[in-house]
Amino acid sequence: MEKPLLPRESGQFVAERSRDVFIRDAGVQKVAEMLFNLRRSDALTASGWKVANPLAPALNWVFVVDTMNFSFWPDNGAQQCEVTYKGITYTGFMTLCAAITRAMDEGVPITDPKYFSQMSVEELGKVLRSDNETAMPMVQERHQVLTEGGRVLLEHGGSFHSFISQAGNDAQKLVELIVEKIPSYRDEVTYEGRKISFNKRAQILVADFWAVTEARGEGYIINMDCLTMFADYRVPQALVYLGVLQYSDALMEALKNGELLPSGDRREVEIRGCSIWSVELIKERLHKMVQETDGNACSINSAIIDFYLWPFAKQHHKEMAHIPIHHTRCIYY
């Protein structure tokens, strides 16, 4: 069976054939310069990850959250699901983080694979309960992927750490292990007759594993440069806002009209693929600028650029409101 292209090659393959999404060199240059000016700040280090994940306490918590890290937008423009934890009200991805941490405070062993591998849909529904009328979407699917993930951990030592350590400390091998053993992490599609992969959640899981160990001073993951940005629905919006990506008039109109793009739709694949490749181009440009100016190699990888762009998109959501995000209901992002 044909192996899918890796995410980086997939991004390039899509970008070279894309009909509705285009990468603009001026935008690539602009963002590379923006990051260049921040190159010595904490925003572009593993500790920048802590800003995006302030509630992350431990590795099993990271596994539980990343396994259910998909599709937080509400149906038909309804208000977003909200979770209030310790006086702060969270929306989007952070509702999941807050809900899992809240459950731990309530004594629910939600980060123990023995528990979450066999918990009921009702039990998970209670853990993920919203503090307003809008329920978190796709609870059934979240239950399915979490129990599946838990069973895999139990077959491999009973914790995320014991499972992941089988792949050594190479980021590429870690992603391959996750995608091979846990079906819900297989983010693959056929585009223009070629099987490609984006593996958004598997790559985030490895990047989060790296960031947690790095933040603890135990960082030992090599080959982090093989990871790409994590192709979701929020970062592409920021890339359009920053002039890196441009959508065709037809695609922009479809998104503004609220058209749902099915998972695997050509336009959806082009948004994700071009997002990946544009960040690779930004990274290459940034590395070149650092080399020429500072005379040394730049350690900023695509995961760190994503860790910067994702909170940027959240912080500037009001200025970016005129740019529609694409809506695809699926378990991949």
Query: Which amino acid, one-letter code, is at 102?
Result: R
Q: Rounded CA gap, 19 and 62, in Å?
A: 37
Known catalytic residue at 232: yes
Measured over the CA atoms of residue 198, residue 48, residue 21 and residue 92, the dihedral's sign is positive
Catalytic residue among 20, 66, 232, 306: 232
Mode of pairing for the β-strands spanning 21-23 and 83-85: unpaired
Measured over the CA atoms of residue 286, residue 269, residue 174 and residue 148, the dihedral's sign is positive
Size (the chain), residues: 333
3-state SS, the chain, equals CCCCECHHHHHHHHHCCCCCEEECHHHHHHHHHHHHHCCCCHHHCHHHHHHHCCCCCCHHHHHHHHHCCCCCCCHHHCCCCCEEECCEEECCHHHHHHHHHHHHHCCCCCCCHHHHCCCCHHHHHHHCCCCCCCCCCCHHHHHHHHHHHHHHHHHCCCCHHHHHHHHCCEHHHHHHHHHHHCHHHCCEEEECCEEEECCHHHHHHHHHHHHHHHHCCCCCCECHHHCCCCCCCCHHHHHHHCCCEEECHHHHHHHHCCCECCCCCHHHHHHHHHHHHHHHHHHHHHHHHHHHHHCCCCCCCHHHHHHHHHHHHHHCCCCCCCCCCCECCCCCC
Q: Rounded CA gap, 256 and 219, in Å?
A: 43
By annotation, the residues acting in catalysis are 232
